[in-house]
A = this chain, B = another copy of it.
Amino acid sequence: MKPIQVGLLGIGTVGGGVFSVLDRNQEEITRRAGRGIKIHTVADLDTKRAEELVKGRAKVVSDAKQVVNDPEIDVVVELIGGYGIAKELVLAAINNGKHVVTANKALLAVHGNEIFAAAQAKGVTVNFEAAVAGGIPIIKALREGLTANRIEWIAGIINGTTNFILSEMRDKGLDFDVVLKEAQRLGYAEADPTFDIEGVDAAHKATIMSAIAFGIPVQFDKAHVEGITKLSAIDIKYAEQLGYRIKLLGITKKTKDGIELRVHPTLIPTKRLIANVEGAMNAVQVMGDAVGTTLYYGKGAGAEPTASAVIADLVDVARLQTADPEHRVPHLAFQPGSMVNTTIMPMGEITTSYYLRLRVADVTGVLADITRILADNSISIDAMLQREAGDGENQTDLIMLTHETKEKNILAAIAKVEALKTVEGSVTKIRLENLS
């Protein structure tokens, strides 16, 4: 099947990410989608920079209108942002019968009703997974994963800039202004950070989630929007003493009197998982009447995390037109003809770290013998804990954490260690994963 032809409007940070991820993972994406996804044309005012990124692999134009009017293009990816020209281009693309993928939360929170109605009328889709919480597939979860539920509320850390600032304020006890400057220096906050720190960006995203959760039109003008600029370090400290963390939450809740839609700094009990979401990470907690609480966590911004969401939307569009309609999504994610039979490795060949606990005699030289055996088997030690032998005890527990090694090395080493006269009984081995 011919690749789906994509017109990319804007090749800044996210656009560059979309281009490079599609390029890098094309083979695997095609196996999933059933057809290739090809960037046909890139429109960007800075054509020179665009050409440098694209290196001849796509057409580059400066006029985005050329893209939305090009009959060869099936899908337009809008990454320009804002309400102005972006709206015009999205509507023109829809009008020309093209599917649209956009990461533009501002546009959808303010003009979504008009855009979705136009798309519905023309029989095209507007996909926007990247508009909320970046790479986290939260739109899909709400729209498809939780359809059995009456959603009761959603609370999300949906702005990485403010979460980074709040984490820093708490960790270092610094005031807002100081941390903001640091965030700007590190690239976590923009030169003009107003939309982030005043809560507007989070409110755009909360507005979109509110519509999806409750089946209401998007209505950003009704959202209560409050940022973190007035927050003092002292309140973060007092909250901590009382067992709470302060996060900027986007909240939408259904009550018997109507729907709440609000963004503001919020105390959350420290023991909740979402209270422990630190730095620039995002997380959305959803309460459904059947499923109870679910939480979705990941990177909410950045070139490749956002590209991940944009491309997932493109795969959704591609899958609409592959195979029979009943198999829009293949059972095992990859098209049946595109499965591979990669070896599943025997356990001896896997690589991980290890926790080892030994009962050893409390005499000199024991540790030297053990570490020699480990070294001979290419195992290096990351951390060690030795309990002092209790009164009257002549043995003690020795605990070691190793760096990564093959399981067969550990098994060989353990056999030799257990043969030592100074080691009693068998060695307890538990695998360790850093998950970083």
A141 near B143: Cβ-Cβ < 8 Å: no
- With a CB–CB cut-off of 8 A, which chain B residues contact A150? 25, 28
A344 near B259: Cβ-Cβ < 8 Å: yes
Q: How far is the CB of A356 from chain B (nearest CB, A)?
A: 10
A413 within 8 A of B: no
**A29-43 interface with B by 8 A CB criterion:** 29, 31-33
- With a CB–CB cut-off of 8 A, which chain B residues contact A297? 273, 294-297
Q: How many copies of the chain does the oligomer comprise? A: 2
Q: Which of B135, B137, B219 contacts A344 (CB 8 A)?
A: B219
A149 near B25: Cβ-Cβ < 8 Å: yes
A51 within 8 A of B: no
Stretch at the interface among A77-85, A180-188, A330-338: A330-338
B344 near A222: Cβ-Cβ < 8 Å: yes
Q: How far is the CB of A393 from chain B (nearest CB, A)?
A: 15
The digit string for A92-116, where 1 denotes a CB below 8 A from any CB of B, is 0000000100000000000010001
Q: Considering residues A291, A325, A336, which has the most beta carbons from chain B within 10 angstroms of its beta carbon?
A: A291
Q: Which of B126, B288, B299 contacts A291 (CB 8 A)?
A: B299
Which B residue sits closest to A261, measured CB to CB? B344
B332 near A211: Cβ-Cβ < 8 Å: yes
- With a CB–CB cut-off of 8 A, which chain B residues contact A340? 214-216
Q: List 11 A-B contacts (CB under 8 A).
A: A116-B336, A125-B331, A137-B146, A148-B307, A155-B435, A224-B350, A242-B385, A272-B436, A285-B435, A289-B304, A293-B435
The 8 residue pairs across chains A and B that have the minimum distance between CB atoms: A137-B145, A148-B311, A294-B298, A215-B334, A135-B291, A291-B308, A258-B343, A222-B344
**A320-352 interface with B by 8 A CB criterion:** 320, 324-334, 336, 338-345, 347, 349-351
A294-B135 in contact given A146-B308, A273-B277, A311-B147 (Cβ < 8 Å): yes
**A249-276 interface with B by 8 A CB criterion:** 249, 251, 253-255, 257-262, 264-269, 272-274, 276
Which B residue sits closest to A336, measured CB to CB? B120
Q: How far is the CB of A114 from chain B (nearest CB, A)?
A: 12
Q: Which residues of A contact B (CB under 8 A)?
A: 17, 21-22, 24-25, 28-29, 31-33, 99, 112, 116-117, 119-120, 123-126, 129, 135-137, 140-150, 155, 210-219, 222-224, 231-232, 234-235, 238-239, 241-242, 244, 246, 249, 251, 253-255, 257-262, 264-269, 272-274, 276-277, 285, 288-299, 304-305, 307-312, 315-316, 320, 324-334, 336, 338-345, 347, 349-351, 353, 355, 357, 383, 385, 397, 399, 401, 428, 430-436
B435 near A32: Cβ-Cβ < 8 Å: no
- With a CB–CB cut-off of 8 A, which chain B residues contact A399? 238, 242
- With a CB–CB cut-off of 8 A, which chain B residues contact A328? 320, 328
